[in-house]
Amino acid sequence: MAQMLNAEIIAIGSEMLTPFRTDTNSLWLTDRLNGLGIDVKLKTVVGDDEGRLEEMIRDAMKRSEIIISTGGLGPTEDDITRKIFARVLKKRLILNDSILEKIRARFAKRGVPMPEINSRQALIIEDAQLIENKNGTAPGMLIYHGKCTIALLPGPPREMKPMFEAAVAPALRERAGDLLILRRKLSIFGLTESATDEIAAPIYTKFRNPVTTILFKDGQIELHLTANAKTVDEAEKLLDELAGQLDVALGEYIFSRRDETLEEVVGDKLKLNGYTLATAESCTGGLLAGRITEVPGSSDYFLEGAVTYSNEAKARQLGVPKDLIEVHGAVSEEVAKAMAEGVRRLAGSTFGIGITGIAGPGGGTEEKPVGLVYVALADDEETMIRKFIFPGDRQFIRQLSVNAALDLIRRRL
């Protein structure tokens, strides 16, 4: 790849050094910076610790061309970003009257007098370019210092993101010049991570641009392709070539090339064909219906669901014969089939899905272990049944079961 500008991201605030909070701002910023053709080489999280922050900023200015800091612009003593950047840059902090007025007005609008400490947020580093904050009180700053472009942004994402877009991205775009990064995501279901890699690696390792990353996420595999080029067309062409070869090799295991979820892909196909769906769940306890109805407009194709935990409910709600349950057990091919056919008949839907299994941790036997799950899909011609033995804990088994059911109907469509 061609030489790219280097950036580093500094997250400031002691709450980011607790076990409770992770710095998610930097993921979003990395995506945006990469999109501008800028490489992120380092990320740091530093607390309300003047000495360490000062050292971090001094070092950053030596090694990085672009520095983005988030957080530490609040009104309290702990908010040290302004002060320490000013110290390292050897600049004064100047009270900006018009910012002060804006902060006062924000409080007045809410019918509250401005606490005196908030005036600290109107202190601006000398020569810095102001970045307006439409969603909060702390303005941001853009500073040019030697080879460094420095942006100070507030921590809350809903303040930080629009400020980056409005002021920082345009400034960096000018500087980064004519290189850009484009990404594409291939979403895969039905293969393990290593099986995917065995198929995909012989292809993607032939390419140095795009670069390919494999991720395992929520029981699915994602292939992320990242291309670097001078124009969007050129980057798209590079992506098309690699994606095309991966497409041929991975075939129907790829369920999306456009960052859609399984439930969106299924929903689109149902809607397109005017088909409808009803679900009958035991071990997944409503999660399948929950996932399907995450999609806006799902009421067009999702009619109803039954969560039949008890055998009594399986019989009454779905018409599963009680002797069938007695003979084969609630977790069986036969009961999954009867559930799918029952809910389809009652709802009058094109498709019916039935899921029954043992999510654990209790309830497993040697013959029927924890992780055993049957998924059935009924339509007017036939009922397909799949048997799975899933690994992992209760939550993971339930999640994999929902994914398997969605993938079964995706392939049927």
Q: Which residue of 2, 18, 50, 369 would you call a contact of a second copy, by CB under 8 A?
A: 18
Q: Which is nearer to a second copy, 281 or 407 (CB)?
A: 281
The answer to whether residue 59 forms part of the interface with a second copy (CB under 8 A) is yes
Q: Does 321 bind a second copy (CB under 8 A)?
A: no
* Closer residue to a second copy (CB): 300 or 326: 300
**What is the C-alpha separation between 231 and 195, in angstroms, rounded?**
34
The span of 93-101, 111-119, 296-304, 372-380 binding a second copy (CB under 8 A) equals 296-304
Give dist(CA 20, CA 40) in Å, integer: 24
In whole angstroms, how close is the CB of 323 to a second copy at the nearest point? 20
Alpha carbon distance 50, 56 (integer Å): 10
Binding a second copy by CB under 8 A: which of 1, 293, 324, 383? 293
How far is the C-alpha of 211 from the C-alpha of 157, rounded, in Å?
A: 29
Q: How far is CA 237 from the centre of its chain?
A: 26
Determine, following the binding rule CB under 8 A, whether residue 406 of this chain makes contact with a second copy. no
Q: Is 256 a binder of a second copy (CB under 8 A)?
A: no
* 164, 255, 302, 374: which one binds a second copy (CB under 8 A): 302
By CB under 8 A, name the one of 259, 312, 326, 411 that touches a second copy: 312
Q: Which of 66, 336, 339, 347 binds a second copy (CB under 8 A)?
A: 347
Per rule CB under 8 A, is residue 202 in the interface with a second copy?
Answer: no
Single out the residue of 327, 319, 328, 384 nearest to residue 355, CA to CA.
384
Take residue 147 and report the two structure tokens written for it: 């080879």
The most distant pair of C-alpha atoms in the chain lies apart, rounded to whole Å, by 84
Interaction residues for a second copy, span 267-286 (CB under 8 A)? 279, 281, 284-286
- In terms of Cα–Cα distance, which of 255, 181, 227, 296 is closest to 408? 255
**Contact positions with a second copy (CB under 8 A) in 130-169:** none
What whole-number distance in Å separates Cα of residue 232 and Cα of residue 219?
32
- Cα distance between residue 7 and residue 295, in whole Å: 37
144 versus 216: smaller Cβ distance to a second copy: 216
